[in-house]
Every structure is written in structure tokens, then in C-alpha cells.
Amino acid sequence: MVAPVVVTGAAWTTPLGSGLDAVWRRLLAGEHGFVEVPSPHRLRNTQAAVVAGRPSGPAERLRGLAVETLREALEHAGLAGDGVRTLFVLGTSLGAYLDDEGERNAPLHQWADAVVGALGAKAPPVVLSTACSSGSDALVVGAECIRAGLADVCVCGGVDILTPSKRLAHSALSTLSPSRARAYDTRHDGMMLGEGAAFLVLESAAHAEQRSARILARLRGVGSANDAASMTSPDPAAAGARLAMERSLVDAGLAASDIGLVNGHGSATPVNDRAEAAAFRSVFGAEGGPLVFATKGAFGHTLGATGAMEAIATILGLREGIVPPIVGLEQPDPEFPCPLSVGAPTRHAARKGLSVTLGFGGFDTSLVFEVAR
């Protein structure tokens, strides 16, 4: 029998702040973190969602966000970072690599070594970069490490920062919206960039019980796939996304009908929204299905951090029985197969939910969470 994996701590640093409850209240109020961010380059959109009051140097900014957020996650779980059987699994989508000369001339894992060193970790971190699925895939790896008996505690998630290269790249690719992010809206025309960090503390259920830890949620199942359709565009048939969701449900021992809530990728690019709708239609049916909400309209697309931020949002949505409105969604796509949280917070009775991430390069990840309420 596979050992159960539970979530005992979580923290995020977002463009709306850092406290779990405080940020959740702002999300429920329909707020967003977008501000004007000047650029010397011509961009499709000069607004972005940034974390205020942090150093401007890319490497220092990345490491600072990671260390601060990891410390908060460990404190929330009532743990220190120096446990002998504690492992850190950290993801980013290139982080500061493209914009900091010191990072370009160093190993890709150098930033993570420095971060866990500041926390007194006994073991080197596991570091990954799977584009926008990095934060989600860190949770997949952490869960599997616990199940395999390699660690009792895995602190997992992602961090990413807004940099000139990322703004230029998404502007050149035309994935950046010239107006605003409108996920699942008939007028969707692109995503908006953001930055932040989010980490969750995973434990074996036995270890958490032994120390009488508070359990936030159970990570019931994980699933990943890669459709390899393009370096940037998803498979229009959404085969990878469908497979990732189906694998996570099998891993959780659940049927699609058991899922009452989904935090969608919701990037607001037309191709991603269509692929996501196709995947949901395939898994949940052509009508009805779970309630879908999304947070990129508030946080921006935080790239390597987004999967972990959305995992926390999924847990909070399940625990509170209410989810925020999708910021920017005003005219829902009539072809979208599931009910959407539109205009105001939406109440629900779900205890089991999915967090779905679709990354560049076809990296598709699905996480199944369950809460007791």
C-alpha cells in the first residue's frame, strides 16, 4: 500500500501580499496585483504583477523570495529546515539565469544550493525546471520521494521573478496580452506576467501523526504527461493534459465524478484556453462537471512558481468552501464545458479537487487534493 502524503504547511509570497489568509481575502474580493512596470523595450503590455519591496538584482531577488517563503512554510508546519530526513524540492522556469551574468556562468542549480544552505539543510536540494509546470512537478517529485521512503518531509514548490528577458520573449511570441488577462473569456487574447514564490510542506501521514501536526490537506494523487506538440503551444487535442488528469485520478483511486473543484491553468491565451476546455470535456463530460476557478488574472502568470501558488489556492478553496471570481472573466466562453466562478466568489461543497498546470514544451501536471471539513 502506498504511504499517504499530507500537507502540513504552506506559504506564498505574491503580488497581493504574503499571508495565506490575507491574500485569500484579497482574492475573494476580486483584487489583482498588476501595476505599470516601465521598460526601455517596446512591449505588447507594460503592466505586470510584481512583489513589492524586494531587491532589483535578479539573482538576489530570486533567492530572497525563495528563502523568505520557505522559512514561512516551515514555520507554518512547525518544523525546522535542518531535519536529517528533510528534503527540499525546488523549481523555477530559468529564474534569474537569462538576466544575471553570474548565474549564466554557474551551474543551473546554484541558486537552490544557496537557498537551502541559508536554511541549514542537511541534504542538497532536488532542482528542476519544467517551464510553467515547475512548481507542480516539484510537488510530484516530493510526493514520490516520501512514498519511496527517501524522506519523511519534503518542502516543495517554485519561485520565479519578472525579468526583462521574459517580458521581451512573451511579447515577441505574442503570448502577452495587449489588454488584460481574460481566462476562459470570449475576448481572451493572451496572458499577463507576474512573479512570486510558493512552497508546501509534504509529510508522510505517519510522520505527521507522530508529531501531532495539523494537516491542511491530503495529496491524494499526482499525474504528469508531456504532449511534445510544440516548444510553446499545447497539443490542440489536449492529449497530455487529459492523460495527466486521468493519471492523477487513478493514483488517487478516484473517479472524475468525485472531483468537485478544479483550479485551472487559465493562462488566457486562446490556444491554451481551448486545449484546457478540450481536456476538461474529455475527462468530465460535455456539461456539468466540477466548478473551475483560476488565479492568473490576479497574480499574473508566475511561470515556475505558478503551479505551487495554484496548489495552495486549491487547498484554501477546498478548506473554505468558497473560491474567488476569475479576474478578467466577464463573457464566459459558451463552449467551456464546466461551470466557472464569474463575477463574485462562488460557494461549493467540494472536498476533493484538482490543480492543473500546462507548461511550455508540453509539460502537463495534475494534483489531487482532499480536505476534511
How far, CA to CA in Å, does 24 sit from each of 18, 160, 180, 217, 307?
10, 20, 21, 17, 16
Q: Is the dihedral of CA 168, 173, 178, 182 positive or negative?
A: negative
Tell me which residue of 363, 292, 372 sits closest to 140, measured CA to CA.
363
From 32, 76, 132, 154, active-site residue: 132
From 188, 265, 338, 348, active-site residue: 265
Residue found by looking up cell 496548489 in the block? 311
* Dist. CA 177–CA 189, nearest whole Å: 5
How, if at all, do strands 261-263 and 291-293 pair?
Answer: parallel
How far, CA to CA in Å, does 307 sit from each of 67, 79, 177, 264, 287?
18, 23, 20, 10, 26
- 132 as an active site residue: the answer is yes
Half-sphere exposure of 146 (CA within 13 A, CB side): 31
CB atoms under 10 Å from CB of 201, counted, come to 28
Q: Judge whether 211 and 152 are in contact, CB under 8 Å.
A: no
* Dist. CA 364–CA 119, nearest whole Å: 30
From 145, 301, 338, 348, active-site residue: 301
* Dist. CA 146–CA 2, nearest whole Å: 10
Write the DSSP symbol of residue 332: B
3-class SS of residue 219 = strand
- 265 as an active site residue: the answer is yes
Dihedral angle, C-alpha 65, 69, 71, 76, nearest 10 °: 170
Q: Residue 73 is inside which H or E element, if any? A: helix 58-77
Dihedral angle, C-alpha 178, 183, 188, 194, nearest 10 °: 10
Cell of 248: 492523477
Q: What positions carry a catalytic annotation?
A: 132, 265, 301
